């Protein structure tokens, strides 16, 4: 995850950015005009990558590159099996590929309407993880941001092959420790205040907007939840709400420092019923002590009449823990080279940004 290259997945194409000196510049645009809703950057020492297009008319299509984004070719798209007649729940039709991660030789794809797919040949074929799809609890999930539920966060354990944690809107968090043979809910401690009181603590209906894992301390997880900020220090065995978040505890994005599990960044928005920066001022909240205190960082960010919303995958931190990128649904892109202390706009005129990733 080099800090010198980044990928911006937007409603009108995939933008490859390079850091030249202190300046991010657009190096290449792929799929200009097409909605690229997710991208999987190359792993270290690899040039293979994937991009998911959510075309307006023809559905989701996955493209692969073997040369780090210079050229692309279409590969297989995850597809749901035939829906049994009368099967309850959302239609077994791919709406969008919402998350892409790779670990231990496999690529994982999280989708709307809530199916998890896996590829062992880098996208040439996909298999639905039936063990999760067939869980009866899935039928209690519901949409968060889309009409159907979806898997937006995939957190493979960096050293334990076969262990993967998922974040689902709205289906809480789920974990497998046996490579997808079995699954367990992993959202105990989260609370959904918008639900009927008797369901507020139900881990299976939590709207975990985004879940991220610290690479060097994988038991440490952060969650930007619909109702605030939560943290786990026991690999999602339990979650604790972080109180006293300044400006607003509502938001979508969270990023965690790759080596310092107590350091995380959040981009607050006013509230679920008004998804804009508080008082029109873009800010980033940073904690460096595990959520006991926060700094609100605003240097270099617009402080008047800014209505940018940073969505789930719109905030990323590089391997060095110092370079950050943040992209908004109204096409603003900002970068920091000092862990968020100062920001500089890369562009304010990009298409709506779905995802930013280093690599």
Residue 61 CB, shortest distance to other proteins, in Å, is: 7
Residue 156 CB, shortest distance to other proteins, in Å, is: 26
Q: Per CB under 8 A, does 298 bind other proteins?
A: no
Q: Quick one: residue 77, left, alpha or beta (phi over 0 = left, psi -120 to 50 = alpha)?
A: beta
Residue 34 CB, shortest distance to other proteins, in Å, is: 9
Residue 89 CB, shortest distance to other proteins, in Å, is: 14
Residue 55 CB, shortest distance to other proteins, in Å, is: 8
Nearer to other proteins, 57 or 274 (CB): 57
Nearer to other proteins, 50 or 211 (CB): 50
Q: Per CB under 8 A, does 94 bind other proteins?
A: yes
Residue 93 CB, shortest distance to other proteins, in Å, is: 5
Residue 346 CB, shortest distance to other proteins, in Å, is: 24
Beta-bridged to residue 172, according to DSSP, are 168
Q: Per CB under 8 A, does 146 bind other proteins?
A: no
Residue 38, CA distances (Å) to 23, 235, 277 in order: 24, 26, 24
Nearer to other proteins, 81 or 244 (CB): 81
- By CB under 8 A, the residues from 27 to 56 that bind other proteins are 55-56
Residue 286 CB, shortest distance to other proteins, in Å, is: 36
Residue 149 CB, shortest distance to other proteins, in Å, is: 16
Exactly one of 18, 48, 93, 104 binds other proteins (CB under 8 A); which one?
A: 93
**With contacts defined by CB under 8 A, how many residues of the chain interact with other proteins?**
17
Q: Quick one: residue 17, left, alpha or beta (phi over 0 = left, psi -120 to 50 = alpha)?
A: beta
Q: Per CB under 8 A, does 177 bind other proteins?
A: no
Exactly one of 2, 66, 68, 92 binds other proteins (CB under 8 A); which one?
A: 92
Please state the three-class secondary structure of the chain as a single string. CCCCEEEEEECCEEEEEEEECCEEEEEEEECCCCCEEEEECCCCCCCCEEEEEEECCCEEEEEEECCCCCCCEECCCCCCCCCCCCCCCCCCCCCEEEEEEEECCEEEEEEECCCEEEECCCCCCCEECHHHHCCHHHHHCCCCCCCCCEEEEEEECCCCCCCEEEEEECCEEEEECCCCCCCEECCCCCCCCCCCHHHCCCHHHCCCCEEEECCCCCCCEEEEECCEEEEECCCCCCCEEECCCCCCCCEEEEEECCCCCCCEEEEECCECCECCCHHHCCCEEEECCCCCCCEEECCCCCCCCCCCCCCCECEEECCCCCCEEEECCCCCEEEECCCCCCCEEEECCCCCEEEEEEC
Closest CA to 97 of 333, 350, 355, 310: 355
Nearer to other proteins, 93 or 275 (CB): 93
Nearer to other proteins, 65 or 249 (CB): 65
Nearer to other proteins, 112 or 236 (CB): 112
Q: Per CB under 8 A, does 285 bind other proteins?
A: no
- By CB under 8 A, the residues from 51 to 90 that bind other proteins are 55-59, 61, 74, 77, 79-83
Nearer to other proteins, 18 or 93 (CB): 93
Rounded CA-CA distance 107/87 in Å is: 28
Exactly one of 27, 67, 91, 338 binds other proteins (CB under 8 A); which one?
A: 91
Nearer to other proteins, 94 or 325 (CB): 94
Nearer to other proteins, 83 or 182 (CB): 83
* Interface residue list for other proteins (CB under 8 A): 55-59, 61, 74, 77, 79-83, 91-94
């Amino acid at each position: 995850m080099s800090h010198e290259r980044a990928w911006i997945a937007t409603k009108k194409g995939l933008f490859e950015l390079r850091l030249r000196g202190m300046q991010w510049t657009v190096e290449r645009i792929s799929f200009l005009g097409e909605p690229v809703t997710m991208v999987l950057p190359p792993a270290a020492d690899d040039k293979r990558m994937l991009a998911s297009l959510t075309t307006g008319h023809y559905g989701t299509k996955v493209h692969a590159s073997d040369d780090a984004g210079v050229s692309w070719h279409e590969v297989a798209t995850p597809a749901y099996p035939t829906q049994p007649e009368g099967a309850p729940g959302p239609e077994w039709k791919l709406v969008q590929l919402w998350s892409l991660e790779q670990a231990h030789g496999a690529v994982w794809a999280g989708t709307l309407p809530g199916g998890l797919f896996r590829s062992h040949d880098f996208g040439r074929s996909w298999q639905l993880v039936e063990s999760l799809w067939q869980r009866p609890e899935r039928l209690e999930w519901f949409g968060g941001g889309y009409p159907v539920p979806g898997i937006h966060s995939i957190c493979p354990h960096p050293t334990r092959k076969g262990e993967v944690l998922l974040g689902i809107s709205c289906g809480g968090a789920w974990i497998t420790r046996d490579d997808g043979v079995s699954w367990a809910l992993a959202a105990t401690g989260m609370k959904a205040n918008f639900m009927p009181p008797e369901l507020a603590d139900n881990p299976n209906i939590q709207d975990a907007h985004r879940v991220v894992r610290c690479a060097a301390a994988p038991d440490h997880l952060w969650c930007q939840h619909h109702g605030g900020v939560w943290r786990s220090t026991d690999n999602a065995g339990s979650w604790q709400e972080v109180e006293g978040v300044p400006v607003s505890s509502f938001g979508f994005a969270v990023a965690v420092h790759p080596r310092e599990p107590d350091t995380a960044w959040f981009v607050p928005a006013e509230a679920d019923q008004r998804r804009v920066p508080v008082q029109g001022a873009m800010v980033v909240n940073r904690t460096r002590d595990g959520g006991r205190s926060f700094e609100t960082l605003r240097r270099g960010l617009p402080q008047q009449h800014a209505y940018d919303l940073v969505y789930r995958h719109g905030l990323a931190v590089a391997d060095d823990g110092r370079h950050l990128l943040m992209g908004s649904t109204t096409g603003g892109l900002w970068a920091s080279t000092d862990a968020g202390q100062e920001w500089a706009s890369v562009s304010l005129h990009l298409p709506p940004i779905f995802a930013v990733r280093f690599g």
